[in-house]
């Protein structure tokens, strides 16, 4: 009897045991039902879906599309692209591979955008991938901007420094995501009421041409883009400035051009006290001091001491002795030189190309 039992136990141990089925977590959102084997990843993607719904509901006054709700699965499937969109039995299925920490936010946001766009397309009897490519980028950026508000300033700052992408590239999804984000913001301003914005977005989600819409609003869509992009960027002042922006702003405020009898000429700060009784100089110094007090808190920390010292020179300018002003100006120049050296160290550590120190 014992030998039979032992034999049965040995045979049972020798047979391969099928693995236990993985536990699948899910999270229902208005945009999609998010599912995956890791709770943290499911919650992460679900947060991006909720952020998209907030943008659609509160910015555009758009209700969720009719059911069925999309299914958004977080999985790493061999042979799949990072984000795959399919239609299974009339239901949108989006599969996303989050990747590392740098790629995960963008992929989660785009997966949420694709889920909504595909649902809107199916409602009109269109294929799930008919949406114009710019819509995926623009909506994904709106999601990222909601969850990481600093990205607003980042994209506006980049936009002020970058050459505008051609409108055709933006619509085709070939431009940087920043340009699609700015395009959507500029388009919303042009369209006005949220009902018109919603109508335009839904039309593009269902394969309509946004360029055709722009042709009705402007004689030249390309000129419209350049003008409205510039207006959009100028309408929003960044909360804080980058290294190059602080340096350029300091160059501007510390550059003096006056007519002191022989036409306009550039005057170095250390030589300006001898002309401080001129009305134009008095007005300029007061205006610069007011501007400095308003802007100094937005400056990059690398340049803070240079800005502070220059502000002390401006405050002392009306009443200080020439020796006092000369000492403050020399201190400012020292602080400025040290800031440039520190900037080079910072940017070199970030592997950026840096102009030669002044």
349 band by pLDDT with thresholds 50, 70 and 90: confident
Whether pLDDT at 311 is above 80: yes
Q: Give every CB contact of residue 1 below 8 A, 6+ residues apart in sequence.
A: none
Name the nearest CA neighbour of 335 among 357, 298, 302. 302
State the DSSP code for 162: S
As a three-state string, the secondary structure of 282-350 is HHHHHHHHHHHHHHHHHCCHHHHHHHHHHHHHHHHCCCCCHHHHHHHHHHHHHHHHHHHHHHHHHHHHC
Whether pLDDT at 298 is above 90: no
pLDDT of residue 238: 64
What domains lie within the chain, and their CATH numbers? 22-130 (3.30.2010), 148-238 (no CATH), 243-349 (no CATH)
Q: What b/e string do you get for 283-292 counting C-beta neighbours within 10 Å, with b at 16 or more?
A: eebeebbeeb
CA distances, 277 to each of 273, 281, 283 (Å): 8, 7, 10
Report for 2-11, 36-45, 254-263: range of highest mean pLDDT = 36-45
Residue 251 CB-density burial (10 A; 0-12 exposed, 13-18 middle, 19+ buried): exposed
CA distances, 57 to each of 30, 51, 54, 198, 254 (Å): 11, 10, 5, 10, 47
pLDDT in tens, 106-138: 999 999 999 999 999 999 999 999 999 999 999
**pLDDT averaged over the chain?**
88
For the segment 145-159, the average pLDDT, to the nearest whole number, is: 88
Whether pLDDT at 69 is above 60: yes
pLDDT of residue 12: 47
What percent of the chain clears pLDDT 90, i.e. is strictly above it? 67
Q: How far apart are the C-alpha atoms of 276 and 254, rounded to whole Å? A: 15
CA distances, 213 to each of 139, 175, 177, 200, 219 (Å): 19, 20, 21, 8, 11
Name the nearest CA neighbour of 189 among 180, 197, 181. 197
- Which of 86-100, 150-164, 239-253, 314-328 has the weakest average pLDDT? 239-253
């Amino acid at each position: 009897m014992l030998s039979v039992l032992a034999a049965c136990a040995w045979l049972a141990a020798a047979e391969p045991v099928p693995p236990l089925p993985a536990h699948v977590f899910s999270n229902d959102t208005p945009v999609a039902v998010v599912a995956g084997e890791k709770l943290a990843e499911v919650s992460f993607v679900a947060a991006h879906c909720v952020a998209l719904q907030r943008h659609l509901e509160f910015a555009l006054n758009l209700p969720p599309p009719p059911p069925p709700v999309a299914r958004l699965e977080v999985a790493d499937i061999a042979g799949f692209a990072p984000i795959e969109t399919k239609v299974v039995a009339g239901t949108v299925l989006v599969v996303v591979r989050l990747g590392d920490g740098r790629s995960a936010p963008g992929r989660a946001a785009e997966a949420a955008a694709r889920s909504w766009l595909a649902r809107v397309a199916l409602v009109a009897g269109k294929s799930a991938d008919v949406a114009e490519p710019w819509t995926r980028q623009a909506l994904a950026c709106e999601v990222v901007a909601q969850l990481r508000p600093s990205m607003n300033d980042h994209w506006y700052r980049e936009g002020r420094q970058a050459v505008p992408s051609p409108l055709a590239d933006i619509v085709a999804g070939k431009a940087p995501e920043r340009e699609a984000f700015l395009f959507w913001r500029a388009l919303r301003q042009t369209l006005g009421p949220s009902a018109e914005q919603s109508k335009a977005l839904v039309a593009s989600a269902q394969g309509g041409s946004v360029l055709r819409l722009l042709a009705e609003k402007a004689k030249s869509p390309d000129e419209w883009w350049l003008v409205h992009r510039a207006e959009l960027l100028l309408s929003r002042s960044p909360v804080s400035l980058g290294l190059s922006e602080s340096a350029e702003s300091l160059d501007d405020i510390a550059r003096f051009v006056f007519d002191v009898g022989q036409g306009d000429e550039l005057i170095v700060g250390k030589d300006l006290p001898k002309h401080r009784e001129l009305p134009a100089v008095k007005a300029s110094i007061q205006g610069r001091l007011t501007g400095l007090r308003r802007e100094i808190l937005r400056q990059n920390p690398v340049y803070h001491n240079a800005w502070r010292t220059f502000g002390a020179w401006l405050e002392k300018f009306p009443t200080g002795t020439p020796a006092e002003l000369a000492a403050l100006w020399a201190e400012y120049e020292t602080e400025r030189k040290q800031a440039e050296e520190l900037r080079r160290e910072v940017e070199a550590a970030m592997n950026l190309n840096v102009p030669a120190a002044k």
